[in-house]
């Protein structure tokens, strides 16, 4: 495999993508960003990155691949809202499946050395009885969003077998931290913090006892870079193996941000999973990686960023 010098990041103006771009630039890589700015923000863009405002569904991104000739691709552009995928499954499939196939075809056509895909450990497995969930567990997603992520993992495996395109699929837990968009229903921590800072009432869906695996952005990026540098191919969970409920997050943030907030509940959306935590045994073994920032530390770092931003 040739030395990787130039990386293309789809979704590089978004939450995870912009943090990834910054880290790659610090590592000395030349960076190209494709983002349609539908949820990403211009202020997230690193000025050292070569930015193209474009949609991954647009066939014109071929011209970007032809001009830039990236050595590696980090595919992080997506419709990220599982609830929206239930309301608008065709839109979700168009972006997350057809858009991803457009990216894959260009990777094949322009002989990209490796593709790293942002998958979802929070949605792809479905309802599971035994936790934490290993990568070997049979995935049975409930939401169209999770179905789309699984479909692209299957396409990645197919492209490797047929076209010899190496890939890594990172099944992230619920990543949180600075820059997460509070206007999306996908980031409960960002939503709770901004509501509390504005003296508005955050809403807890369901009974608040359902759990997810929350991982701080810095730890997620460290795992991403470690996987990129290893000669690894396949699927990796990126999480903490810890379960945390919205009720727990509410009480932690109430103490940090706004003691006056009260619990208010609303009915849970369909396909809301009861419990999620991801086994990271494989990541520890393959990457020699483990998360370093616990939830309490991560919440304080995140709150401080939102305080300075709002």
Q: H or E element: which one contains 287?
A: helix 281-287
Whether the Cβ atoms of residue 176 and residue 238 lie closer than 8 Å to each other: no
- Asked if residues 112 and 67 have their Cβ atoms less than 8 Å apart, the reply is no
C-alpha span between 175 and 226 (Å, rounded): 17
Measuring CA to CA, which residue among 214, 211, 80, 75 is closest to residue 145? 80
Catalytic residue among 29, 125, 145, 176: 145
185 Cβ neighbours under 8 A, 6+ residues apart: 81, 83, 84, 191
- Using DSSP's 3-state secondary structure scheme, residue 167 falls into strand
Distance CA 18, CA 22 (A): 6
| Active-site residue, 145 included | yes
Give the residue numbers annotated as catalytic, written as ranges.
145
């Amino acid at each position: 495999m040739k030395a990787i010098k130039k990386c293309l990041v789809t979704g590089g103006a978004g939450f995870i993508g912009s943090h990834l771009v910054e880290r790659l630039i610090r590592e000395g890589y030349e960076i190209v960003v494709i983002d349609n700015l539908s949820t990403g923000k211009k202020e997230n863009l690193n000025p050292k990155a070569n930015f193209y405002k474009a949609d991954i569904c647009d066939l014109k991104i071929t011209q970007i691949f032809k001009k830039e000739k990236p050595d590696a691709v980090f595919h992080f552009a997506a419709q990220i809202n599982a609830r929206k995928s239930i309301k608008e499954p065709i839109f979700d499939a168009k972006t997350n499946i057809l858009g991803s196939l457009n990216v894959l075809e260009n990777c094949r056509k322009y002989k990209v050395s490796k593709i790293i895909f942002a998958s979802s450990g929070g949605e792809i497995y479905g309802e599971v009885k035994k936790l934490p969930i290993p990568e070997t567990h049979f995935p049975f997603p409930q939401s169209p969003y999770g179905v789309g992520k699984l479909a692209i993992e299957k396409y990645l495996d197919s492209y490797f077998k047929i076209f010899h395109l190496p890939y890594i699929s990172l099944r992230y837990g619920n990543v949180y931290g600075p820059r997460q968009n509070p206007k999306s229903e996908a980031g409960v921590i960002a939503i709770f913090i901004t509501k509390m800072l504005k003296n508005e009432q955050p809403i807890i869906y369901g009974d608040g006892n359902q759990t997810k695996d929350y991982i701080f952005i810095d730890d997620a990026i460290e795992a991403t870079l470690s996987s990129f540098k290893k000669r690894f191919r396949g699927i990796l969970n990126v999480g903490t193996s810890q379960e945390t409920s919205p009720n727990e997050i509410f009480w932690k943030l109430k103490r940090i941000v706004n003691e006056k907030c009260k619990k208010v509940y609303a009915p849970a959306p369909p396909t809301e999973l009861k419990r999620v935590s991801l086994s990271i045994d494989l990541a520890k073994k393959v990457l020699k990686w483990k998360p370093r920032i616990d939830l309490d530390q991560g919440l304080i770092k995140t709150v401080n960023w939102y305080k300075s931003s709002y």
